[in-house]
Amino acid sequence: MTAEAPAYKRPESVLVVVYSADAQVLMLRRHEPPTFWQSVTGSLEWGEEPGQAARRELIEETGLEAAALEDCHDSHLFEIYKIWRHRYAEGVTENREHVFRLAVSDACPVTLDALEHAEYEWLPRVEAAQRASSYTNRQAILDWVPIEPAPGLR
Q: How many CB atoms lie within 10 A of CB 51?
A: 15
Compute the distance between CA of residue 72 and CA of residue 79 in angstroms, rounded to an integer. 21
Per-residue pLDDT tens for 52-107? 999 999 999 999 998 899 999 999 999 998 988 999 999 999 999 999 999 999 99
Per-residue pLDDT tens for 11-48? 999 999 999 999 999 999 998 766 899 999 999 999 99
Cα dihedral: 121, 74, 81, 114 (round 10): 30
| CATH T-level assignment (fold) for domain 19-144 | Nucleoside Triphosphate Pyrophosphohydrolase (3.90.79)
Compute the distance between CA of residue 73 and CA of residue 17 in angstroms, rounded to an integer. 13
Average pLDDT for residues 139-147, to the nearest whole number?
96
Phi, psi of 138 (to 5 degrees): -55, -50
For residue 40, the SS3 value is: strand
Q: What is the pTM of this model?
A: 0.91
Domain ranges of the chain: 19-144
Helices marked H in 43-153 — which ranges? Answer: 50-62, 125-131, 135-144
Pairing state between β 40-43 and 12-20 = antiparallel
- Residue 21 is predicted with a pLDDT of 92
